[in-house]
Amino acid sequence: MASGRRSWIALAAALLAGAPAAALAAAGPVANVIPAPLSVSSPPDAAPVRIVEGETIFVPRDDAGARQTAQQLSALAERTRGLRLTVAVGDPPAAGGPAIVLLRRPGLPEEGYALEVANGQARIAATADAGLFYGAVTLWQLLTADGQRGPAALAAVRIEDRPQFAWRGLMVDSARHFQSPAEIEQLIDWMSLHKLNVLHWHLVDDQGWRLQIRKYPRLTEIGAWRTPPAGSPDAAPGHKGAARYGGFYTQDQVRTIVAYAAARHVSIVPEIEMPGHAVSALLAYPQFGAGAPPPRAAQAQWGGFPYVYGVGDGTLGFLEDVLTEVMELFPGRYIHIGGDEVAHERWNASPEAQARLRALGQSDPAALQADLTRRIASFLEAHGRRLVGWDEILGGELPADATVMSWHGIAGAVAAAAKGHDAVLAPAPWLYFDNGQSNDPHDPLGRGVMITLRDVYGFNPLPATLPPDAAGHLLGLQGNVWTEHIRTFDQFQAMAFPRAAAVAEVGWSAPERRDWTDFMRRLPAQFARYAALGLKANPAALDVVVTAEPATLGAGATVKITAQSGVGDIRYTLDGAQPTLASPRYDASFDVPLPAKVRAAAFLDDVRIGPIAEAQLDAASIRRRGSRQLRLCNQKLTLNLEGAQAPDGRTQTYMVNPQDPCWIYPAADLGGVERLSVGFARLPFNFGFDAGHNSAVLHPPREPGGELEIRQDNCLSDPIAVAALPAGPVGGRGMLSVPLPARSGRHDLCFTFTARSFDPVLALDWVQLAPPAPAIAPAPHDR
């Protein structure tokens, strides 16, 4: 994450907590919390409340749930505001006496609560423990809305609140990259403070089996560890070959995590993939697969694989044994079995599968997945559980209580609900948080599709295509953090937050309470809370971005400034000063002479809400494009990949299609440019793709070592320049300087690497057009 983004957060939060009162007066009372409450009003003739050091939280006698919530609120206040609160059991002082009071009120929804701050007291009422906890979370957010430390002054307010959806979730993929038990508990903490209540835990996939199963120890002895290719970031730093990579959760660790989540009103839904995504399991127990076992190398690759479980009684017994231990560990109602991306054709060569198909009176091997799903659903139902699967399980007749998780857009949820099945929305690309959220080169890795915070916030969980009588089957929604390219927990945090905050508001808040501008108004305070919690969220939604290119006329640059949020104003300076409300407002692109220093920032309600962006412009910088500023020629697969770690610990990222090394520099100004330079890297190729993912375009080389080819205006014309690639190791970087024939005007430049194979991945890092030589003034005696 870019440095310097955090220093402004507490200041902006404090200013927005108090300064924009005039701007917000027309909207009525304001609660600076996320997600937005259902109802916010001002108690008549009520005085504000001051919460000071040593304030007491009173809980009813013999109420363990209220006491637990009070202790959690006390710990939060001390951690994030430095404010120590005490917990006492018994009756609070009379109205008007200083106190925080937790009490029970019959008749409220299970997750609903009422909060009143007035006349010296903050009173939280709820029927159930979950509602009491969420009321405490809202009070904590009010306490921390100004981003300050010490005593807090709270405006009088009355809040009545309950969620729109029962399922408000986040999926963590621990199969591709392993998070420690402590990191999972941190994630649960952060989820609960957003009123997210379902952690979908993806524990099994081709690349790793992460859950200890006592009856089958090889699942973790073999399946939990892989050997990444040399040069991969997963390999140990400085290791000449590759390191053993992985990990798993013991059953004792899982029990601790499940209890930790329950105390924070988060239910964990474990996912055990079947019948596909089974490489890690079949490496350990190949007898349960259909056909030849997978090669060991497949476990260290990303992508889709054709290896599936068999369908005989032995395999069914294995899966039931595994699920029996899973159910002992996870007491929640739902068990997720995956069911996505199954290579049904694998069963065509299995005599056992063909025999089962004949017994079913079917000829399509897809019927075998439907049959397995029914059998597993019946097994789970017999144990009081409900099956959840990705929307591919709709391919056959489902048991009535099966729940469908829709990832192919929203169509699966609509179809499932129309058939009477419960459904959860988790659609790509809107709720897939492995997609990038900005073009900042410091942002974490992921897929090249851009899903901004605003995209997530704008997702409609009640599609117009959903029949009104089926709406009751829509349980809710969740964001998914797939981790193929999210290697570290720091990267995970930046990819999940604040987009998880948008999921929380879409899932909790009533449609009429959701407003993007108001959400942005509340976001700086949320970032101040993140900083206090140690959560490394990505503030790209609050950033502004300054870009420049050669001016159409003259020798200067045309400057463009954008803000991802699209709200408020952008203010900028050209004299090195810090932007303020008195600075010029950006309305349209403008030209500047070179060199130039542009500083810009976003303002909302007359308060700066994000960090200051700065760009030093000169003739060279405006003709340089980094990997994320280029366009991939083939966008069927766009990935932002990480190179090997340098000795200083830093890494470089590259936007690539690993099966088509081709990039476009759009509208390059070639006037006076006679040479260009490029930086590139050789990355390990560890991608295994089935036919559905294949976008391969191999560019054959002229020489064994390969070349860089440069074309003008399209990628199929003859090259205007060719340069041989120097030799280098996987994980290494290189640079080329290439002369160009004289050109004028603006043209797309197409850059293609040639090679005999995709291994290693040749990745373009940057392109620098040599600026035109400056005009030389004639000597005085020549005038």
Task: Name the nearest CA neighbour of 12 among 529, 395, 675.
Answer: 529
Inform me whether the pLDDT recorded for 290 exceeds 80: yes
Lowest model confidence (mean pLDDT) among 273-287, 554-568, 636-650: 636-650
- Does residue 567 have a pLDDT over 90? yes
Q: What is the pLDDT of residues 747-774, one digit of tens each?
A: 999 999 999 988 899 999 999 999 887 6
Q: In this model, does residue 450 exceed pLDDT 70? A: yes
What pLDDT score does 9 carry? 64
d(C-alpha 106, C-alpha 755), whole Å: 71
CB–CB of 318/216 below 8 Å? yes
- Write out the catalytic residue numbers: 205, 277, 341
Predicted local distance difference test score (pLDDT) of residue 16: 59
Give the pairing type, strands 707-712 and 662-669: unpaired
Q: Phi-psi bin for 217: left (phi > 0), alpha (psi -120 to 50), beta? A: alpha
Cα dist from 147 to 36, 37, 141, whole Å: 18, 20, 10
Amino acid, single-letter form, for residue 96: G
| Model confidence at 390: pLDDT above 90 | yes
**Which residue, 357, 335, 354, 322, is CA-closest to 211?**
322
Q: Which comes out higher in pLDDT, residue 562 or 469?
A: 562
- Label residue 236 by pLDDT band (50, 70, 90): low
pLDDT at position 22, please?
36
Residue 598 has pLDDT above 60, yes or no: yes
Contacts (Cβ under 8 Å, ≥6 apart) of 99: 55, 56, 57, 58, 92, 93, 120, 121, 122
The SS3 of residue 345 is helix
Strand order in the sheet with 39-41: 39-41, 157-161, 113-118, 121-126, 99-104, 56-59, 86-89
Rounded CA separation 407/412 (Å): 7
Alpha-carbon distance of 723 to 751, in angstroms, equals 11
pLDDT of residue 376: 97
Q: What's the pLDDT score for residue 603?
A: 96
Residue 107: predicted pLDDT: 96
Chain segment 477-494, per-residue pLDDT in tens: 999 999 998 989 999 999
pLDDT(20) > 50: no
How far is 568 from 555, CA to CA, in rounded Å? 32
Neighbours of 438 (CB within 10 A): 18
Asked whether 710 and 738 are in contact (CB, 8 A), the reply is yes
Residue 478's contacts (CB-CB under 8 Å, 6 or more residues apart) are: 167, 168, 169, 170, 171, 198, 200, 424, 425, 426, 431, 503
> For the ranges 96-100, 359-363, 551-555, 580-584, which has the lowest average pLDDT?
96-100
- Do 5 and 602 meet the contact criterion of CB atoms below 8 Å apart? no
Which of 238, 732, 176 is closest to 487 using CA atoms? 176
The string of pLDDT tens digits covering residues 652-700 is 789 999 989 999 999 999 999 999 999 999 998 888 754 345 668 889 9
- The more confidently predicted of residues 781 and 68 is 68
The encoded tokens of residue 428 equal 């790509």
Axis crossing angle, helix 129-143 with helix 64-81, rounded to the nearest 10? 20
The confidence score (pLDDT) of residue 166 equals 97
Of 529 and 771, more confident: 529
Average pLDDT over residues 354-358: 95
Mean pLDDT, residues 15-41 taken together = 67
- What average pLDDT does range 727-740 have in this prediction? 92
Q: Which helix (H) or strand (E) holds 121?
A: strand 121-126
Per-residue pLDDT for 2 more than 60? no
Compute the average pLDDT of residues 514-534: 96
CATH of 624-769, one of 1.20.1530.20, 2.60.120.260, 1.10.8.60, 3.30.365.10: 2.60.120.260
636 pLDDT above the threshold of 80: yes
Q: Is 153 helix (H, G, I), strand (E, B) or coil?
A: strand
Residue spans of the domains in the chain: they are 1-27+527-618, 39-161, 167-401+473-509, 624-769
Confidence of residue 24 (pLDDT cuts 50, 70, 90): very low
* Neighbour tally for 13: CB within 10 Å: 26
- For residues 615 and 503, give the distance between their C-alpha atoms in angstroms, rounded to a whole number: 33
* pLDDT of 238: 47
Give per-residue pLDDT as tens, 200-212. Answer: 999 999 999 999 9
| Element housing 367 (H / E) | helix 366-382
Assess if CATH 3.30.379.10 describes domain 39-161. Answer: yes
| Three-state DSSP class for residue 507 | helix
> By CB neighbour count within 10 A (0-12 exposed, 13-18 middle, 19+ buried), where does 54 fall?
exposed
- Position 563 pLDDT exceeds 90: yes
pLDDT at 27: 40
Mean pLDDT estimate for the chain: 91
Which helix (H) or strand (E) segment holds residue 17: the answer is: helix 9-18
Proportion of the chain above pLDDT 70, given as a percent = 91
The CATH class for the domain spanning 167-401+473-509 reads alpha beta
Distances (CA, A) of 575 to 506, 533, 547, 578, 597: 42, 37, 17, 9, 7
Report phi then psi at 49, rounded to 5. Answer: -125, 135
Please determine, for residue 83, whether its predicted confidence score (pLDDT) is greater than 60.
yes
Please give the pLDDT value at position 782.
Answer: 37
pLDDT in tens, 171-228: 999 999 999 999 999 999 999 999 999 999 999 999 999 999 999 999 999 999 999 8
Residue 25 has pLDDT above 50, yes or no: no
